[in-house]
Amino acid sequence: MKKILFITFFLVSSAFAFETYVEFKPGARGFTGDITNEIDPNWNVSYGAQVGMVWCKRWGVSLNYSNFHTEGRSIIENNNLPFNVDPYTHTTDITLNNLDVIGNGFWPIGCGLRPYVGIGPRISFVAIHNDSPFVDQKVEKTGVAGLIVIGMQMSKGCFFLDPFIEYTFFRMSFDHHDAEVIDFDGNFDTVQIGLGIGVRF
Amino acid sequence: MKKLIIMTCVSLCGSLFGAIVSVPPGVDLLQGAIAGAIPGDTIQLEAGIHTMTSGGGTALVDKNLIIQGNPIDPPLSATVTTSDDALNVMMTVASSNVTFTNFIIEHLAQTSSSDTAFGMSGNNYSNVLYDNLQITYTETGITSSESSLSITNNFFDSASAVTNDHRCIILSGNLGTSIITDNTFNSKTVDPNGTIFSLLTSNGGDAYSGSLAMERNELLAGEDPIKQFFVMESFAGAPGSFAFSTDGNVFENVRGSFIFFSLVDTPANLFSSMSMNNNVDSSNPPSDYKGLVAFDGIVIPPPPPLYDIATDPNSIFSFSGNVLTVNAITEPGWAAAAPGGLLGYDTAVYNPFFLVPSITTLSGNQYTERFLTQGDLVNALSWESPDPAIDSFNIYKTVDTNLIANVPAVDGQNVYLDHNQKVGVTTTYFVSAVSGGSEGTKVSVTIP
């Protein structure tokens, strides 16, 4: 009974000792899956915005939105062809709109530095446009991903910088009906490296 | 009786050799002698002038006869002549087994454009012989239709000053074995563009079969280049049914020696063989030589391609031993299909000698064009164009009659992609080259 009372007291008192922040989180994002990385091997700009709360300087939760758009090109598998196949590939546009709920743990180390680790689910809306008449050109689907993020907030007054690295695990299956194609599971795993700029309240 | 004296000598062997009917010189006596003869008779023209008029009409030879100058007279002592413009055909063959030999025949009308020394009524006659004659004509020396005949050892002379289309010989179809050998043609240049030694045509649909050998004839030089030594202007007949040879002829001052010309809808695979050997062409026209053999408008019928004259060992053509003065094609708009002046063709039509080659580099592969969430399974055909003259390629699927695409030819690798295939399904494709409307042999490949 003593323990329950202690925990209740702790939580109630902590609820009245939190901070909030908003953060703009641009970064560079790239695919890590073998196929997707081959279709689009480039790093592209991803934009995100986040609002968060921190309790007791150690525990936090954040709501994050990010957008990622990139353009790749189809690849040729079984490529043992006696001709240059490049002219016969097609572009593919990929857009990811993500909404995350992240639980964070902070470890203040002084001098305004506060490393953190976050983990949480992501709801991601995938929109793909394939520039080939032989496949489904418009593919859209919403799925659930998981992410982990590591960063360090570096505060100066109420402002802070937030270098971070984020990994998203995101797989989703598709059924295409508009064309005689082979269905593949989509691997949208990404890594993002960014630098956020935020302000605390 | 004074004008018409016919001396008839009946041989004791008449039942075996026929009678000899002697015809003295006179006017229109020959027609009656021929009409009164019986099959197997010999009509013997006595030395002198045998005049024919339109009043006497054509001499219709509708039975097997020999019509000849008297062999005891000096050669060519008898002359059958007319200057009657209304008498179009002097002698008309309407029977097999007819021989004309050892006399002069001359049609000297000056205005008509259809005068003929020897004509033919009907066709399908055999063993018609014109031998050792001197034929002077306004337009045509000998005409024949779908028969077999021998024209040998004659002297042709286009004597008229009338601007006509002079032809020594016009064959309209052929049946059986025919020869035109050892004749001499004295060209007059009153109409150089209309003068031809021998013309083959399919006028009226007469067809060619059997064989024709045109050998050891000589065209004497005219003052200006004449049109052609030999022209085959249209063809009709079953494919591969006609063997043709022009060997050992000597001629000069022609713009094109052997001309094959046809409308685009006439097949050229009529010939089973063509030999053109040991001819001597001394022509030296300044700028309009079409070649020893000139092709103007011949269609190579698909399939199969007919020949590659220059290189195809299976060509129906045989060329050897020909001697040319002009070793180039100089006619504007024409090109050489072989080194020198041997073969020329009208570039406005196309190269009739081009054998559409088959594809030797065809390969078939299967690949997946992979997108993020789907893949397009593609059957890929690729090959190199076997010749720069190829226009396009036909693609057939499953069976070689199911044409699914015609793709333009490109330099380097030609590619055809068949998209949206199903996994585990095997497909056979056939690819052929196309040039000038002709198609080469189809080559197949099975994927995967």
Do B359 and B383 touch, CB atoms closer than 8 A?
yes
**What residues of B are in contact with residue A83 (Cβ under 8 Å)?**
380, 382, 413, 415
CA distance B139 to B164: 6
Interface confidence (ipTM) of the complex: 0.88
Q: Write down the pLDDT at residue B227.
A: 66
The model's pLDDT over B276-296, given as tens digits with 9 standing for 90+, comes to 888 888 877 667 788 887 777
Span A150-171, mean pLDDT? 96
Span B145-164, mean pLDDT? 81
Q: What percent of chain B is predicted at pLDDT more than 90?
A: 46
Q: What percent of chain A is predicted at pLDDT more than 90?
A: 79
Check pLDDT > 60 for residue B171.
Answer: yes
Do B32 and B61 touch, CB atoms closer than 8 A?
no
Tell me which residue of B355, B16, B368, B18 sits closest to A182, measured CA to CA: B368
Whole-angstrom CA distances from A186 to A130, A181, B334, B367 are 14, 14, 63, 19
Span A76-89, mean pLDDT? 85
Give the three-class secondary structure for B158: strand
- CA torsion angle for B273, B278, B283, B286 (degrees, to 10)? 70
Two tokens, residue A133: 């008449």
Q: Write down the pLDDT at residue B1.
A: 37
Domain ranges of chain B: 7-290, 363-447
pLDDT-derived band at B13, boundaries 50, 70, 90:
very low
The model's pLDDT over B106-132, given as tens digits with 9 standing for 90+, comes to 988 866 567 889 999 998 999 999 999
* DSSP run (H or E) holding B1: none
CA distance A198 to A152: 12
Span B421-448, mean pLDDT? 90
| DSSP per-residue codes, B379-441 | EEEEEE-S-TT--EEEEEESSTT-EEEEEE--SSEEEEEE-SPPTT--EEEEEEEEETTEE--
Two tokens, residue B221: 């030089």
The answer to whether residue B360 neighbours chain A at the CB level (below 8 Å) is no
The model's pLDDT over B45-69, given as tens digits with 9 standing for 90+, comes to 999 999 999 999 999 999 999 999 9
Say which of A83, A94, A186 has its CB closest to residue B382. Answer: A83
pLDDT-derived band at B6, boundaries 50, 70, 90:
very low
The model's pLDDT over B306-364, given as tens digits with 9 standing for 90+, comes to 444 545 555 667 778 888 888 888 888 888 776 677 777 777 765 555 667 889 899 99
* Gap from A69 CA to chain B (nearest CA, Å): 14
| Single-letter code of the amino acid located at B10 | V
Whether residue A183 and residue B415 make contact (CB cut-off 8 A), yes or no, is no
Write phi, then psi, for B95 (nearest 5 degrees). Answer: -160, 160
CA geometry: angle A4, A7, A10, nearest 5 deg: 150
Q: By CA distance, what is A33's nearest residue in B? A: B372
Higher pLDDT, B330 or B389: B330
| Single-letter code of the amino acid located at A79 | N
Check pLDDT > 90 for residue B80.
Answer: yes
Placement of tokens 């022509």 in the chain? B283
Q: Which residue, among B372, B377, B378, B447, would best test binding to A if mutated, counting the most A CBs under 10 Å from its CB?
A: B372
Q: Write down the pLDDT at residue B210.
A: 94
- H helices of B1-73, in order, are 14-17, 29-36
DSSP designation for A57: T
CATH topology of domain B363-447: Immunoglobulin-like (2.60.40)
The model's pLDDT over B228-280, given as tens digits with 9 standing for 90+, comes to 777 777 777 887 788 988 899 888 767 667 766 654 444 556 778 878 888 88
Tell me which residue of B432, B435, B446 sits closest to B393, measured CA to CA: B432
Q: Report the CATH number of the A19-200 domain.
A: 2.40.160.20
* DSSP run (H or E) holding A6: helix A2-15
Q: By CA distance, what is A82's nearest residue in B? A: B382
pLDDT-derived band at A3, boundaries 50, 70, 90:
low
Check pLDDT > 70 for residue B188.
Answer: no
CB atoms under 10 Å from CB of A42, counted, come to 12
Higher pLDDT, B304 or A174: A174
* Gap from B410 CA to chain A (nearest CA, Å): 13
The model's pLDDT over A96-149, given as tens digits with 9 standing for 90+, comes to 999 999 999 999 998 989 999 999 999 999 999 999 999 999 999 999 999 999
CA distance A145 to A130: 23
Q: Write down the pLDDT at residue B223.
A: 58
Higher pLDDT, B206 or B223: B206
CA distance B273 to B268: 11
For residue A45, how far is the Cα from the chain centroid? 12
Do B12 and B35 touch, CB atoms closer than 8 A?
no
**What residues of A are in contact with residue B378 (Cβ under 8 Å)?**
134
Residues 6+ apart with CB under 8 A from A148: A117, A118, A119, A166, A167
**What residues of A are in contact with residue B367 (Cβ under 8 Å)?**
76-79, 81, 85
Residues pairing with A101 in the sheet: A63
Q: Given phi > 0 = left and psi -120 to 50 = alpha, else beta, which region is A57? A: left
Q: Write down the pLDDT at residue A97.
A: 97
Q: B7-290 architecture in CATH?
A: 3 Solenoid (2.160)
Mean pLDDT, chain B, integer: 82
| DSSP per-residue codes, B163-178 | ----EEEEEEEE-SEE
Give the three-class secondary structure for B52: coil
The predicted model scores a pTM of 0.58
Tell me which residue of B425, B419, B420 sits closest to B448, measured CA to CA: B425
* DSSP run (H or E) holding A36: helix A34-39
The model's pLDDT over B83-102, given as tens digits with 9 standing for 90+, comes to 888 999 999 999 999 999 99
Whether residue B372 and residue A72 make contact (CB cut-off 8 A), yes or no, is yes
* DSSP run (H or E) holding B212: strand B210-215
Whether residue A184 and residue B370 make contact (CB cut-off 8 A), yes or no, is yes
**Of A6-10, A18-22, A90-94, A173-177, where does mean pLDDT reach its minimum?**
A6-10
Mean pLDDT, chain A, integer: 91
* Gap from A135 CA to chain B (nearest CA, Å): 6
Do B110 and B85 touch, CB atoms closer than 8 A?
yes
Do B113 and B86 touch, CB atoms closer than 8 A?
no
| Single-letter code of the amino acid located at A123 | I
Check pLDDT > 60 for residue B380.
Answer: yes
Two tokens, residue B74: 């000096």
Domain ranges of chain A: 19-200
CA distance B392 to B407: 5
Chain A residues touching chain B at CB-CB below 8 Å: 35-36, 39, 72, 74-85, 88-90, 92, 94, 128, 130, 132, 134-136, 139, 172, 174, 176, 179-186, 188
Q: Write down the pLDDT at residue B298.
A: 56
Q: Write down the pLDDT at residue B264.
A: 41
